Amino acid sequence: MMTNVLLVAKREIRQILAMKSFWLTLLILPVALALGPLLGNSLSNEEPTRVAVVDRSQSGVAEALEVRFAEDDDRNTLRNLSRHVQRYDLESADADAPWAQHDRWYTAEDIAAFREAGGVDAAIEKIEAVRPEGVPEFEPEEPIYTFQPAPAGLVALQGEAFAEAAQELFDSDAADAPEVVLRIGENYPADPRIGLYSANQPRSSFVTVLQEVLTGDLRTQLLAQRGISGDEARAIQSAAPAIAVTTPPPGDGAREALLVRSIVPLALSYILMMSLMLSGSWMLQGSVEERSNKLLESLLACIRPEELMYGKLLGGLSVGLLMILVWAGCAGVAAYATHGVISDMIRPALEPVSSPGVILAILYFFIAGYIGISAIFVAIGAMVDSMSEAQGYLMPVLLGILLPITFLLQMIVAGKEGLMVQVLTWVPLWTPFAVLARLGMGIETWVLIGSGLLLAVAIALELVFIGRLFRASLLSTGHKPTLKRVFARLRAQPQNA
Amino acid sequence: MSTPVLEVRNLVKRFGDVLAVNNLSFSVAPGEIFGFLGGNGAGKTTTLRMVLDIIRPTSGEISVLGSAPDRRQAAAIGFLPEERGLYSGMSAIDTIVYFGRLKGMDTASARSCGMELLERFDLADRAKSDIGDMSKGMAQKVQLATSLVNQPQLLMLDEPFSGLDPVNQGLLENEILRASQRGAAVIFSTHVMQHAERLCDRLLLLRKGRKRFEGTLTEVRRQLPASLVASSKGDLSALPGVASAEPVGAPQDGWQEWQVELDQSVEAASVLEHCSTHGIALRRWDERHASLHDIFVELVGGEGVEE
């Protein structure tokens, strides 16, 4: 029996491997993953937003805004430096530097000290001196906003003419044209209205900072009008609490850690779903070809229907595993090519799936899932006479299988293990997906074993019934598989075929 | 008599209310070419499927090479189904090797036998062509090769001549004779009576799943009374064994043409002998045997599809 099963499986594999669609699909995933970041980089606008301020009041508000945005940029750089240093244990570069201290929200003094020490360039130089091999270099982010002088033609204009000229600038293709223009009137602060002209919807962070700076300036001037000296007024304005910050090291936060630990299990679940849908449709195509080409009788003269069915399942499983091996190989090559950046990320992700028991569980649920769902595809293939007929039956079946999986994966990404996740774990059709996806979050051993046993029993029963359906359907060409007929075939014994 | 390769006893197959095969019994000996004749839906394909264990009988017994039907006997069986088709993306030689392997052959033997068959079928140069790139006739020859690759002891051909051009029909006839000569039992179903007349050692006529006749070609011809055209100076209508005798045209110089129908099972020779011994002058005596086609129409004709 095994020889015939292997022969059928080998033929199935050869047939699928001869399909152009197989090779296209096999390559699409790695290519998409490789192109994704590149396209993402090219599509995302990493250029700073250009801001021009027309300050007719000469009140120094423009300078105050520039200072504030520069301070925010430096604070952001300090935070990123701190995360990098903490992640790779690089504090020895300069233990006294603010970026080597991760216990607080950086104040104006910290930023001043950072600037005094030479800013980000000096920090990188110090870090480079102690950076071990394999640890990536620190790459500072671009500032979000850059301030530039307002075009002379704009400064002279008033009212509607000003707004029209600003719009013309936004519409122009000039590389240095401002994207945001601020107009501060001659009577500011007596007339506190500020004009904000923007090429796009302004970011709320920009408006918030603008409001903070201008509010502070107005209040300082009001305090001065009430007899409080300028220095005292500024001191009052700059009074701020010292916020101590305690966060887990990068990757160790509960939510972050959960996500990292769930990356591989979720990916396994997705891959199982994807490869099943793909190889399932190819198997279906093969079954339909056998029926429509009327070669089933020749085959059944040599082998039993069960051998044909098991051979098809084995062939589909082999193709699915081959696809996964290729994708895993591509991931390995990518990890090697990026000199450890990816592997550094993958290492904690692999942690929950690296024990022999879990690896065995992954293999078991993966293969069981494959057999369980592929059998449905094979059964559909045995019942229909054409691909168009197959599509009609396939769509509701696919929706029935895939929709709960989509909800399940979303819930696990959100870190929820609610009733739906628990229920789907115990429904054999979705058990493999649920268990694989939950491995990162941690799943009780009894649930793992119990759901695994239930799945094995369900698959055994499924194979018995689908075997009957397969046998009874093979030679019944030209009969529409109505529900009544399907149920009759599920009950059919071999002698009644 | 040698042990039959195939023996069927009291075979019955029901599909719900439909009785497809009704108490059928027959046997086929090694080297024998056995014709399985019947109208559409007579139960021929159903019987062959039961012999192959594709479907199981409702009752009765089948013995193939001395044991009940089983796929383990696939190595000794060749089968050409009525509805034919192959994997369009597979080459001719790979297709033959695949079926050879399914019948238990090793790859090398299957390939060697497959190439031999393709050479015989004048397809050696297309061995590596995909079936999808071949003409229908070529693909049919490849399919015939898949049923012959294992040099079967029992060769079963379901309507093998349908759809074949005259050249390929001749090729198939040769292959049937070749298989019989090397000792294989050949059983084939057909509607084309000329092939059955030319090839079959024995025939079985089915009607609505029930056997109407089984025997040799000579025996089957006795199923319809013989007829003859004679020219005599005497009256032939009163002769013993003559069912009817009608004069044809007017007598010339005393000689009258007669259209004579004999009684069932009466040999024309015995009537001739009677004329001779009783001094009845004859100058023409043309025997006309019923054709297999006439017998088929008489015994089976007019049936509708049952399955």
Q: Does the pLDDT of residue B137 top 60, yes or no?
A: yes
- Please tell me chain A's helix, strand, coil percentages from 3-state DSSP, rounded to the nearest 5: 70, 5, 25
The confidence score (pLDDT) of residue A233 equals: 75
Q: In sequence order, which residues have a C-beta less than 8 Å from that of residue B82 and are 6 or more positions away? A: B45, B158, B159, B162, B189
Asked if the C-beta of A293 comes within 8 angstroms of chain B's C-beta atoms, the answer is: yes
Q: Pick A293's closest partner by Cβ from B57, B58, B85.
A: B85
Distance between B215 CA and the closest CA of chain A, angstroms: 28
User: Mean per-residue pLDDT for B180-190?
Assistant: 92
| Chain B residues closer than 8 Å to A292 by CB | 85
Distance between B78 CA and the closest CA of chain A, angstroms: 8
Least confident of A197-211, A257-271, A284-298, A371-385: A257-271
Q: Pick A297's closest partner by Cβ from B54, B87, B98.
A: B54
pLDDT bin (cut points 50, 70, 90) of residue A241 is: low
Q: Does the pLDDT of residue A273 top 90, yes or no?
A: no
Distance CA A413, CA A265 (A): 11
Asked if the C-beta of A301 comes within 8 angstroms of chain B's C-beta atoms, the answer is: yes
pLDDT tens profile A305-356: 888 889 988 998 898 888 888 888 887 777 666 655 555 666 666 666 677 8
Helix and strand totals (H; E) in chain A: 19, 4
Percent of chain B clearing pLDDT 90 (strictly above): 39
Q: Does the pLDDT of residue A288 top 70, yes or no?
A: yes
Chain-centre distance of CA A180, in angstroms? 32
The confidence score (pLDDT) of residue A254 equals: 54
The confidence score (pLDDT) of residue A282 equals: 83
| Chain B residues closer than 8 Å to A299 by CB | 102
Of residues A88, A86, A199, A184, the one with CA closest to residue A136: A88
Token pair, residue A146, equals 């850059």
Q: Which of A251-255, A259-263, B125-129 has the highest mean pLDDT?
A: B125-129
Give the 3-state secondary structure of residue A299.
helix
Characterise B41 by phi-psi region: left (phi > 0), alpha (psi -120 to 50), beta (else).
Answer: left
Q: Mind listing the domains of chain B with CATH numbers?
A: 6-221 (3.40.50.300), 227-289 (no CATH)
Angle, CA of B123, B128 and B129, to the nearest 5°: 80
Asked if the C-beta of A11 comes within 8 angstroms of chain B's C-beta atoms, the answer is: yes
Token pair, residue B165, equals 């051009």
Going by the DSSP 8-state scheme, the letter that residue A427 receives in this structure is: S
Q: Does the pLDDT of residue A243 top 70, yes or no?
A: no
pLDDT tens profile A452-472: 999 999 999 988 888 888 877
The confidence score (pLDDT) of residue A253 equals: 53
Least confident of A170-179, B93-102, B117-126: A170-179
pLDDT bin (cut points 50, 70, 90) of residue B306 is: very low
**Closest CA in chain A for residue B89:** A15
The half-sphere exposure of A169 on its side-chain side, counting CA atoms within 13 A, is: 24
Token pair, residue B201, equals 């050692």
pLDDT bin (cut points 50, 70, 90) of residue B148 is: very high
Please state, in angstroms and as integers, the Cα–Cα distance from residue A396 to each residue in A60, A390, A400, B65, following that order. Answer: 67, 11, 6, 48
Chain-centre distance of CA B69, in angstroms? 22
pLDDT tens profile B190-214: 877 888 888 999 999 888 888 888 8
Asked if the C-beta of A300 comes within 8 angstroms of chain B's C-beta atoms, the answer is: yes
**Closest CA in chain B for residue A293:** B85
Please state, in angstroms and as integers, the Cα–Cα distance from residue B101 to each residue in A103, A325, A486, B201, following that order. Answer: 73, 29, 33, 32
User: Mean per-residue pLDDT for A118-129?
Assistant: 89
User: Mean per-residue pLDDT for A165-194?
Assistant: 82
CB of A269 within 8 A of CB of A436?
yes
Distance CA A156, CA A136 (A): 50
Asked if the C-beta of A20 comes within 8 angstroms of chain B's C-beta atoms, the answer is: no
User: Mean per-residue pLDDT for A216-223?
Assistant: 81
Bigger pLDDT: A24 vs A255: A24
User: Mean per-residue pLDDT for B149-156?
Assistant: 94
Q: Does the pLDDT of residue B154 top 90, yes or no?
A: yes
User: Mean per-residue pLDDT for B270-295?
Assistant: 84
Of residues B76, B143, B75, B70, the one with CA closest to residue B104: B75
Token pair, residue B155, equals 């060769």
Of residues A493, A423, A434, the one with CA closest to residue A266: A434
Q: Does the pLDDT of residue B1 top 80, yes or no?
A: no
Of residues A309, A382, A291, A298, the one with CA closest to residue B49: A298
Q: Does the pLDDT of residue A257 top 70, yes or no?
A: no
Average pLDDT across chain B, whole number: 87
Size of interface A-B (CB pairs under 8 A): 72
The confidence score (pLDDT) of residue A390 equals: 82
| Chain B residues closer than 8 Å to A22 by CB | none
Asked if the C-beta of A303 comes within 8 angstroms of chain B's C-beta atoms, the answer is: yes
Distance between A139 CA and the closest CA of chain B, angstroms: 54
The confidence score (pLDDT) of residue B26 equals: 93
Q: Pick A298's closest partner by Cβ from B71, B79, B101.
A: B79
Going by the DSSP 8-state scheme, the letter that residue A104 receives in this structure is: B
pLDDT bin (cut points 50, 70, 90) of residue A290 is: confident
The confidence score (pLDDT) of residue A213 equals: 84
pLDDT bin (cut points 50, 70, 90) of residue B182 is: very high
pLDDT tens profile B105-126: 999 999 999 999 999 999 999 9
pLDDT bin (cut points 50, 70, 90) of residue B156 is: very high
pLDDT bin (cut points 50, 70, 90) of residue B304 is: very low
Residues in B lying within 8 Å of A, measured between beta carbons: 49, 52, 54-58, 71, 74, 77, 79-81, 83-90, 98-99, 101-103, 143, 146-147
| Chain A residues closer than 8 Å to B307 by CB | none
Least confident of A21-35, A70-84, A347-361, B18-32: A347-361
Q: Which residue has the tokens 């019948």?
A: B103
Distance between B137 CA and the closest CA of chain A, angstroms: 15
The confidence score (pLDDT) of residue A11 equals: 92
CB of A401 within 8 A of CB of A373?
yes
Least confident of A38-42, A154-158, B7-11: A38-42
The confidence score (pLDDT) of residue B125 equals: 93
Average pLDDT across chain A, whole number: 81
CB of A4 within 8 A of CB of B105?
no
Asked if the C-beta of A7 comes within 8 angstroms of chain B's C-beta atoms, the answer is: yes
Q: Pick B54's closest partner by Cβ from A4, A295, A301.
A: A301
Q: In sequence order, which residues have a C-beta less than 8 Å from that of residue A436 and are 6 or more positions away? A: A265, A268, A269, A272, A362, A365, A366, A369
Q: In sequence order, which residues have a C-beta less than 8 Å from that of residue A229 and are 6 or more positions away? A: none
| Bridge partners, residue B210, by sequence | B207
